[in-house]
Structure 1
Amino acid sequence: MNQLSTIAPSRAALPLLDSEVLRTFVTIAESGGFTRAAQQLFRTPSALSMQIKRLEETLGQTLFVREARYVRLTSEGEVLLGYGRRLLKLNAEAVTQFLAPTIEGRVGLGITDDVVGRILPTVLAQFARSHPAVQVDVVVGRSKDLLAQLDDGELDLALVMSVEPGQATRGDIVHSEPLVWAGREDGVAVQRTPLPVTLAQQGCAWRRITLNALDHAGIDYRIAYSCDHCAGQEAAMLADLAVTAFPKSLIRSPLKRLHNDSLPPLGDYQVALVKRAGSSDASEVLAERVVEAFREG
């Protein structure tokens, strides 16, 4: 149990946490330093240092370990970061409810199925609370199809798989994690020759990354199963028909990450948020919620 949760409340009123100080704390934690945070907040590093000192005195805890060019959170700081993010979000929702102009209309959001479960429930719930008059239409599909619909004006926002490193990326990268080899825990597919793989159809960034890695390593393979949806590829792995490249965070038992020296490295998997030109206020706000959801994990 952390020290913050064991502090016994006294009979006197507990101090209130200032939202501006919390914003400073969260910005420092997320940027990794006082100088970078000061640039984002248009303050001096010394001013931020004084705020954090007062916050630490108020809570009776050390929140940061200060190193030469970087700061990192203590265990108590990690606990406060979760509270701070939620408090700032709740404050923004309350202010929006009373002061922001009513936003109405429709937003078309395109999303690939690999990120549906990751952020969609949280994003939709938060957006519905703060902007109940906006209709959100969600389309799940392949990245290239979603981008085509965006260009045709059918979608306002699209979350798509980014292209391989070195190529021009549309939109802003909002998530990145390792792409790794996955298969069944007790499976033998990884031992077969040629290596059976399950992939999406032509045009998928994962497919290109996987095949390029196998070709570059000179590994003999065959495409044993094709499906554009993660659930279909998971089914092939569960049946021990094939292995595939998968984002590390999506691997669940009885699937596992394959640590096999014969399999080539794959690099990172990235998700980009692409906006349609001339997007509405509603779509801009929804885009902010999407970015927040990825940042908070």
Structure 2
Amino acid sequence: MSTPTSPNSPQGLPLLDMEILRTFLAISETGSFSRAAQQIYRTPSAVSMQIKRLEEMLGRALFVREPRQVHLTPEGETMLGYARQLLEINDEAVGQFLSPQVGGTVRLGAPDDLGTRVLPGILSLFSRSYPAVQVNVRVGRSPDLMRRLDIGELDVALLVAEAGNRPHRLAEPVYREPLVWAGREGGIALQRTPLPIAVADRGCPWRRMALESLNRSGHRYRIAYTCEHTAAQEAATGQDIAITPLPRGLVHAPLRVIEEEEAGLSPLGDYEVLMLRMPARGAAVEALAEHIMEHFAGTPNATAAAVV
């Protein structure tokens, strides 16, 4: 495919592709082609191809590729500044024409894992398309978020639940993924008796699914690490203190997926991300809700259309 050029440029200079610039920015921020691919919902091979096209167009190497991470070259650092400016101008211009009529404030609730890992990227893109909408986020536990929505303190909430277990009749499934056991690569926590596990506080569906799985398989276990945040569970598991239940998509080095057959564990099952919104909350709420659903629908392992 030939690179488009500017008809008004005497040198016939090529035009930069905004999507490729978004990929370049994602790699720069994550330090990894694979993590960037997950962030922008593309395959690693597609990300590599985009950067290859950009480097060939500019005639410069933009990244130094190492086994575990990548770094910007001096030319890449220069390009980073231009990429940020161009993307901001592009998004501001497009947003002004596509959604100038939608404005207001949306109060959004989300559990810790989504609030820290997923929402920032989604809301960043949303703000570019809907610059007149302000989103105020509250991160908390699903039961508390449902209560706040019921009493009018939230407009829309994302919840985490065991697949098929709807905590509210108006909850809409937007994402589904297997929950798996994760342990330290090369660690020995899995060999200990009783089996040490790291789980969230009571009320967390992942905790309930994990304990039910262990009880089905007849494993002796002890709760070695209890915490409110998934990041703490990962940290404990990374130090080989325990094993922990995690969504398959969150298991990265130095952690690994523990397959059930290698340890005699029962399957954990799937979990769902659900959206709960009260009706007739306005155009801004509907715009954000649709934006979130579209992003989850394009995420690997998403089965929103198939969940009943």
* TM-score class normalised by the smaller sequence: 0.5 to 0.7
Instruction: Name the counterpart of 1:287.
Output: 289
Partner SS state of residue 115, structure 1: helix
**Which has the higher mean CA deviation after the structures are superposed, 180-189 or 272-281?**
272-281
Q: Distance in 2 between matches of 1:162 and 1:223?
A: 21
- Give 1:126-275 correspondences, 5 Å limit: 126-165=125-164, 170-259=170-259, 260-275=262-277
| 1:44 paired residue number | none
Q: CA deviation at 1:250?
A: 0.5
> Structure 1 residues 185, 228: CA separation in 2 closer, same or farther (over 3 Å shift)?
same
* Alignment correspondent of 1:104: 103
Q: Could you state the TM-score of these two structures normalised by the residue count of structure 1?
A: 0.65
The amino acid of 1:289's aligned partner reads H
Verify the 8 A CA contact 1:109 1:157 in the aligned structure 2. Answer: yes
Distance 1:118 1:296, change over 3 A: farther
Structure 2 Cα separation of the partners of residues 244 and 203 of structure 1 = 16
Moved more, 201-210 or 156-165: 156-165
User: Post-superposition shift, 1:97?
Assistant: 3.7
- In structure 2, what is the Cα distance between the partners aligned to 1:180 and 1:233? 13
- CA distance in 1: counterparts of 2:166 and 2:283, whole angstroms: 30
Partner in structure 2 of residue 45 of structure 1: none
**How far apart, CA to CA, are the structure 2 residues paired with 1:270 and 1:179?**
10
d(CA) in 1 for partners of 2:2 and 2:192?
A: 60
Q: Retained in 1: the 8 A contact 2:100–2:130?
A: no
Distance, in Å, in 2 between the alignment partners of 1:182 and 1:101 is 45
Distance 1:140 1:221 in 2: 30
Change (3 A) 1:237 1:107: same
Give the 3 Å change call, closer, same or farther, for CA 10–165 of structure 1 in structure 2.
closer
- Supply the distance in 1 between the matched residues of 2:253 and 2:294 (Cα, whole angstroms): 28
TM-score, normalised to structure 2's length? 0.63
The answer to whether the 8 A contact 1:155-1:276 is kept is: no
Instruction: From the superposition, tell whether residues 120 and 268 of structure 1 become closer, same or farther in structure 2 (CA, over 3 Å).
Output: same
**Residue identity opposite 1:295 in structure 2:** A
Structure 1, 131-140 or 246-255: larger mean CA deviation: 131-140
Deviation at 1:164, TM superposition (A): 4.6
Contact 1:164 1:205 in 2 (8 A): no
The whole-number CA distance in structure 2 between the counterparts of 1:206 and 1:9 is 48
- CA shift at 1:130, angstroms? 2.4
Deviation at 1:183, TM superposition (A): 1.0
Runs of 4+ in 1 over 4 A off after TM superposition: 8-11, 93-96, 166-170
Q: Which residue is equivalent to 2:113?
A: 114
Structure-to-structure mapping, 1:22-33, within 5 angstroms: none
**C-alpha displacement at 1:9, in angstroms?**
7.2
Structure 2: tracts of 5 or more residues without a match: 8-44, 50-91, 300-308
CA contact (8 A) 2:94 2:129 kept: no
Secondary structure at 2:271 match in 1: strand
Contact 2:162–2:270 (CA under 8 A) maintained in structure 1: no
| Overall identity of the aligned pairs, in % | 47
Q: Shift of residue 117 of structure 1?
A: 4.9
Alpha-carbon separation, structure 2, partners of 1:210 and 1:200:
10
